[in-house]
Amino acid sequence: MADLEAVLADVSYLMAMEKSKATPAARASKKILLPEPSIRSVMQKYLEDRGEVTFEKIFSQKLGYLLFRDFCLKHLEEAKPLVEFYEEIKKYEKLETEEERLARSREVFDTYIMKE
């Protein structure tokens, strides 16, 4: 009987954890905030002095890519299809089976390469 109660308690706990992930407060706590402009300028100078401010280094980091993507989508209308194409390629690379890759490659080819 104690085992059943333990299982029920575990299930209740897991369900509560899943539910809490969907609340706005949980999402807000994961939001990344950039430092104040005065601190950013010091950080930028520090990184520039060490050769860390290059496109390759920034683009390869998650935050750097997200900031670059956000900039492109907000300020460069012609970059939108290029960003979408890049993201589709990244999704394609994560597929595991050949069947999924074949189907996805046809969709990407038809959408971005052979579009009319």
> What pLDDT sits at residue 29?
59
pLDDT tens digits, one per residue of 25-82? 555 556 777 778 888 888 888 888 998 888 898 888 888 898 889 999 999 999 999 9
> What pLDDT sits at residue 41?
85
77-116: which CATH number, 1.10.167.10, 3.40.50.300, 3.50.50.60, 1.10.3720.10?
1.10.167.10
For 35-75, CATH gives: 1.10.287.1270
**Which amino acid, 56?**
E
Q: Measured between alpha carbons, how far is 13 from 40 in angstroms, rounded to an integer?
A: 41
pLDDT tens digits, one per residue of 88-107? 999 999 999 999 999 999 99
